[in-house]
Structure 1
Amino acid sequence: MTIFNFVFKRTLKGKFDIFMLLLPPIITAFISVETWLPIPLGFQMYGVILMFLSSKLCKTMMEDREKKVILRISAAPITHLRYLMENLLAYTLILSSINIIVVGIGVLRYGSVTIPPLNMFLLFSVFSATSIGLSIAWYALFKHTETAYSILGGLYISMAMLGGMFWPIEIMPQIIRRIVQILPTYWFALGMRQVVYTGYDGNLFMTIGILLLFSVAFIMVGSRKRLG
């Protein structure tokens, strides 16, 4: 069994695990409260759900480190890079599958004009990769899983608020708007506006590229501290 298959088997080991993985995204997709954007509130908040799902998935890698699983794996002909990349690929595929379901619900419920399927799926999937990288980088800073996981909630909510997921970024002072550009949540919120308003403040694909750079940077930072 490859690491990729093992990750799938461990993450989706029972119906309850699958149910709990799908429940928050599906509930979010049905939140139809109108806001400052012509798109349901649930889809604006979905980025927060992706960050929390990513932290839950990547938590297993932290637990592997605590249980010395990686040390046992290292005795086999499996490199640290292969272990990391197969985990990342599995997590990204899981979240991308969830994204398809959420976007599908959005199109059926609100229509393809309100929820442009291709651009929305692209933005969600790239931000999924960014969230996975962020979680790996965060867990690499700690020795204990529960310590890192307990702080993540406040960190992600703060990032979402500062990044403009919960309210228009335009209401913030200009200096704050410049500073928060270092947060991936800012670029997700900007990407959401670009999906809705074609040509809004730059190009969507440039925003996607910046989020991909965040992904690479976070993964490099997180992988420098070998999980074993």
Structure 2
Amino acid sequence: MNTPWLIARLDLKRMLKDKAFFFWSLAFPVFLILIFGNLYQGNGSDPKAELVVVNRDQGHWGEYLVAALDNPDMVIQARKEKPQKFTRILEIPADFSQRIQSLQSQKLRFTKNPDASLEAATRVETRIIQALVRLIAGVVLQPEPVPTQPEIAPLEELVSVKAGFPAGTITSIPSGFDHVIPGILVHMLMILILIYGGITVMIDRQSGILTRIISGPVSRAELWKGKFLGRLLVGLLQAVMLMGLGLILFKLNLGNPTLSFLIILLFSATMASLSIFLGSVFRKEEVIIGLAILFANLFAALGGCWWPIEVVPPVVRAVGMVVPAWWAMDAFHKVIFFHKGLETLWLHYTILLGYTALFSFLAVRYFKIRE
């Protein structure tokens, strides 16, 4: 058997024997997924374009506008008074018809919940604009009497309004289990690989295991490759378990599975090389654990594991681009939520490879066989 793979398999086997391994790699992450997945489940979704219309108009043009708003893709709720809770609301003033007949300017108040779907809100706004233009057409073409519902259809053909988003516009905020599971995975990969990977390198060095291995027909390069592959396998194993449960229990959407797997592979490689560096430089277990937790939490906060990076201020987003987790989470979001392909993700893959190369250089530079 290839020597690096043999070393990697033995390292993985040793980690699997640790009773705490499955708690940190599976049980605890699933617990977090259940909590945060349900917490974020409803925040970013609004499948129906709902609109509450408060018609206070004393004339007939208000009713005409409400009728013109009717559309199969929308749920219109006509009210006389403003409700306390709403997703989107359009308020028609009491003097709406009077001001139309006297050719005075009008102001309609449209209010929307900032947590609701931007795409649905745009559909509603487009429909409101269409209805207003049809109303104007009705005033111009047949000011008296006010058109009734059957007479609205011919006027609709006069106007065609199309709406779209500027390039790069975020039309939905990543939420639910499709955001939480990749976020928890990236966070726990950092904790698991850095702690287990770093501590085992330190223990193997201090206990003389590395010395005994290198005394056989094993080169220093083969030993390092074996340690790297072992930590990489740990990350991939955890990813397979969490993603598998996500697909079965939570109907996880991976977007393009191949592109998502490449994200996991490259990010695990980045953490594997960083863990060897930590285990080579530091001599105390508590120091490695402390640094691993510090790095993991810092990277998770800046990288968007705890909350969608799309909702943070631009300055925070720019700072987050310094850490590897940002590029992993942004890549997941682009694949899962925005359906991007390799033409967009090549930059993310390249930067993760760059982090891996940097940490590998440091790990090789400071990799020690003995104290």
Matched residue SS, 2:263: helix
* Residue 150 (structure 1) aligns with: 290
d(CA) in 1 for partners of 2:232 and 2:303?
A: 23
The question of 1:165 aligning with 2:305 is answered yes
**2:22 — aligned with what?**
19
Q: Can you give the 5+ residue segments of structure 2 that lack an aligned partner in the other structure? A: 44-172
User: Would the alpha carbon gap of residues 177 and 17 (structure 1) be closer, same or farther in structure 2, given more than 3 Å must change?
Assistant: closer
Instruction: Tell me which amino acid in the other structure corresponds to 2:28.
Output: P
For the Cα contact (< 8 Å) 1:133–1:222, is it kept in 2? yes
- 1:222 is aligned to 363
Query: Structure 1 24/79 Cα, relative in aligned 2: closer, same or farther at 3 Å?
Result: farther
Asked whether the equivalents of residues 29 and 105 of structure 1 are also in contact (C-alpha less than 8 Å), the reply is no
1:97 pairs with 2:237? yes
- How many Å separate the matches in 1 of 2:20 and 2:320? 35
Superposition pairs of residues 41-190 of structure 1, within 5 angstroms: 41-58=180-197, 59-111=199-251, 114-116=253-255, 117-190=257-330
Larger CA deviation: 125-134 vs 67-76: 67-76
Q: Please give the secondary structure, in 2, of the residue aligned with 1:207.
A: helix
Amino acid at match of 1:90: G
Q: Which residue in 1 is equivalent to 2:174?
A: 37
Q: Is the 8 A contact 2:302 2:319 kept in 1?
A: no
Query: What is aligned with 1:10?
Result: 14
Q: Secondary structure at the match of 1:203?
A: helix
Q: Percent identity over the alignment?
A: 24
TM-score normalised per structure 2: 0.54
Contact 1:88-1:132 at 8 Å conserved across structures: yes
Q: Deviation of residue 161 (structure 1)?
A: 0.8
Match of 1:213 in 2: 354
| Structure 1 residue 49 displacement after superposition | 0.5
Question: Aligned equivalents of 1:105 and 1:152: distance in 2?
Answer: 26
How many residues are treated as equivalent by the alignment? 225
- Following TM superposition, by how much is the alpha carbon of 1:85 offset from its aligned partner in structure 2, in angstroms? 0.7
Quote how far apart the aligned CAs of 1:184 are.
Answer: 0.3
Is this contact kept in 2: 1:4–1:87, CA < 8 A?
yes
Shift of the 173–44 alpha-carbon distance from structure 1 to 2, 3 Å rule, reads same
* Structure with the higher fraction of residues in helix conformation: 1
Residue 82 of structure 1: how far off its partner (Å): 0.8
In structure 2, relative to structure 1, the CA distance for the partners of 1:6 and 1:84 (3 Å cut) is same
| Offset from partner CA, 1:98-157 (integer Å, 9 cap, x none) | 322222222223336x33344333322321121212222333332323212223212221
More displaced 10-residue stretch of structure 1: 102-111 or 59-68: 102-111
Q: Which has the larger radius of gyration?
A: 2
Partner of 2:117: none
Structure 1 residues 178, 17: CA separation in 2 closer, same or farther (over 3 Å shift)?
Answer: closer
Q: Report the CA distance between 1:159 and its aligned residue.
A: 1.7
Q: Is contact 2:33–2:181 with CA below 8 Å preserved after alignment?
A: yes
State the Cα distance separating 1:173 from its structure 2 match.
Answer: 4.5
When structure 1 is superposed on structure 2, of 124-133 and 137-146 the one drifting more is 137-146
Q: Relative CO higher for 1 or 2, CA cutoff 8 Å, sep ≥ 6?
A: 1
Runs of 5+ in structure 1 lacking a partner?
A: none
Give deviations 1:50-76, integer Å, cap 9, x for gaps: 101102331211111222322233322
Structure with the higher strand share, 1 or 2:
2
1:204 maps to 2:345? yes
